[in-house]
């Protein structure tokens, strides 16, 4: 693509397409290094009056949060009646791509992933903000340090803001939204739910829409290799009843930190016992040699006994 936007941003390629906006990788031609950035292009605002509010809220929230693992919004501008937002570019791969590649996650990797993401969510929630769209595609494992970065605050909810029309627009992604979110009553526990569903998807390598539910509870353990202690924490993260779920990220962190490394490894995760490929014939060889030794000793003994008891006359006659 060779489009130059606003005379400053050269569009390189399309990164994604959502319900309300498209994102592009671009090069900032006005910077000395011509550094890469992300351009978010809002679809025509006439679709729904709430869409523009969400777009503006995302820009406002990104400026407010200012966290090392949340991209900054550098500017917003309008051209020909359409809105654009410029954000920091994060080099790395989102977890949706890792899920498609079928990566096997160990218990320790899952615990570290959860602690990493819960740290970011703690910062978000402390600013009275709910992300409302936690899913693998919105989490990037950064190339430079392998840390996890939370992106796409396009469905964000500010608890202190006046959002009387919030229920008129469905936001978030099917399969990751909690029951209370679907009722239009999201809270901090809703983000914990989305993170729990994301974790299950990584462990089972199965999209949540393809997992079954038993008595309104997601059935997933039989499709994953995970230690029971860790699975119990994940189950509490996704409890259908919000009252039974973790109420804060700090509660989840506390339980995860109490788990020793030994509790992170399921029995099926353990490597097979090392064996020597030549070992099977060794017992047979040793047994054979031992048998021959016994037979030889018995033969010598019998020969000695026979010779010692032979009458002298017979021997001389022969």
**C-beta of residue 119 within 8 angstroms of C-beta of residue 191:** no
Q: Is 180 buried (19+), middle (13-18) or exposed (0-12) by CB count in 10 A?
A: middle
Would you tell me how many other CB atoms lie within 10 Å of the CB of residue 197? 26
Q: Is 116 an annotated catalytic residue?
A: no
Catalytic residue chosen out of the listed positions 94, 116, 133, 152: 133
Structure tokens that stand for 30 in this block: 């006005």
As annotated, the active-site residues are 133
């Amino acid at each position: 693509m060779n489009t130059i936007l606003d005379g400053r941003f050269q569009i390189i390629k399309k990164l994604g397409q959502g319900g309300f906006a498209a994102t592009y990788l671009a090069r900032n031609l006005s910077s000395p290094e011509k550094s890469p950035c992300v351009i978010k292009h809002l679809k025509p605002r006439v679709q729904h009056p709430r869409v523009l509010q969400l777009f503006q809220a995302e820009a406002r929230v990104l400026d407010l949060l200012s966290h090392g693992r949340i991209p900054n919004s550098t500017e917003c501008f309008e051209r020909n009646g359409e809105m654009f937002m410029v954000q920091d570019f994060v080099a790395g791969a989102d977890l949706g791509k890792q899920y498609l590649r079928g990566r096997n996650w160990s218990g320790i990797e899952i615990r570290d992933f959860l602690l990493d993401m819960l740290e970011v969510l703690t910062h978000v929630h402390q600013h009275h903000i709910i992300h409302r769209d936690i899913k693998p595609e919105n989490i990037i494992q950064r190339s430079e340090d392998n840390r996890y970065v939370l992106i796409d605050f396009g469905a964000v909810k500010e608890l202190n803001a006046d959002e009387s029309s919030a229920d008129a627009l469905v936001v978030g992604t099917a399969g990751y939204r909690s029951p209370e979110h679907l009722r239009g009553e999201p809270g901090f526990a809703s983000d914990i739910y989305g993170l729990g569903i994301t974790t299950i998807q990584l462990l089972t390598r199965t999209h949540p829409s393809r997992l079954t539910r038993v008595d309104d509870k997601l059935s997933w353990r039989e499709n994953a290799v995970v230690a029971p202690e860790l699975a119990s924490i994940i189950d509490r993260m996704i409890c259908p009843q919000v009252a039974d779920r973790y109420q804060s990220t700090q509660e989840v962190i506390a339980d995860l930190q109490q788990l020793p490394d030994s509790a992170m490894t399921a029995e099926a995760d353990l490597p097979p016992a090392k064996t020597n490929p030549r070992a099977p014939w060794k017992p047979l060889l040793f047994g054979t040699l031992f048998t021959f030794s016994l037979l030889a000793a018995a033969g010598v003994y019998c020969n000695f006994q026979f010779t010692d008891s032979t009458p002298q006359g017979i021997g001389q006659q022969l």
